[in-house]
Amino acid sequence: MNLTYAAIELRRVARDYVSMFFVAVLPAFMYLIFGVSMDYGDQAVGNGNAALYTMIAMAAFGAVTATTGIGGMAAVERMQGWGRQLGLTPMSDREYVTIKAFVAFLIALVPVALIYLLGSVTGAEGSAAAWLLSGLVVIGGAAVFALYGLAAGLLFRTEAAIGAASGSLVILAFLGSVFFPLSGGMLTLAKFTPLYGYVALARYPLTEGEIVSTTGAAAGTDPLWIPLANLLAWGTVFGAGAVLLVRRGRGRQ
């Protein structure tokens, strides 16, 4: 991997203060509002408490915002001619993708580290396994949404489209029972939305599949296969869409 180019990309992304605010500061602020300041933060949830339950969701939201934006910008850069410039260098397509993935991973670590640090000093409690495994799932699962951003960039080919794709994550988070627990028909609908499986899987080491209601009590159980199937299905959809859009773009050249 070209470490020089990776460092340039990392600095370029980090200098975009507006994007970094939405990636890191906004999810951390939302955790402080919904996870720390509320009375239910101390309520027991699975292997921890409600504050940890909220903390995991906010870290996941920040991570997918990062990977969606970087994945989308990679596509737009290629479509707008940056690929031709890179073609004059020894860098291969595989190395370009590897560098973008590496940068996305590092940027995604920022909100996760910040929110987990805040959680550790503001009353989020849980077993060691819940802390460690949830963090690993948050980081690993966020890669699926790089494909989402990539597909959006390939489809619309503009930076505005990437902003729209990142912004749509807010709607998907509400529909996916990320910001607050849903129930009834809304919960049934949530299980088919992209963020539900990812966040439910990240919460699984804490909840062990228990579905939390607005009161903090368990409202049923999700077997492990439900969030796994959701994440794999949407990963397949996003990946297949990106591949088809790449082929369509090549066909027009």
Domain boundaries defined on the chain: 3-252
- Averaged over successive runs of 10 residues, the pLDDT of the chain (253 residues) comes to 78 82 88 82 87 94 90 69 63 70 86 94 93 95 88 75 82 92 89 96 94 68 94 92 70 50
Which residues are 44's β-sheet partners?
Answer: 49
Q: What is the DSSP letter of 15?
A: T
DSSP E strands, 9-166: 44-45, 48-49
pLDDT at residue 119 in the model: 94
pLDDT at residue 1 in the model: 59
pLDDT at residue 158 in the model: 72
Which residues are 49's β-sheet partners?
Answer: 44
pLDDT at residue 75 in the model: 65
Q: What is the DSSP letter of 216?
A: S
User: How wide is the angle at C-alpha 102 spanned by C-alphas 98 and 108, nearest 5°?
Assistant: 145
pLDDT at residue 98 in the model: 74
Q: Give yes or no for a contact between 151 and 245, defined as CB atoms under 8 angstroms apart.
A: yes
Q: What is the DSSP letter of 192?
A: T
Return d(Cα 55, Cα 30) in angstroms, integer: 9
Closest CA relative to residue 162, chosen from 171, 154, 173: 154
Amino acid in the structure at residue 14: A
pLDDT at residue 17 in the model: 82
Confidence (pTM): 0.88
pLDDT at residue 249 in the model: 52
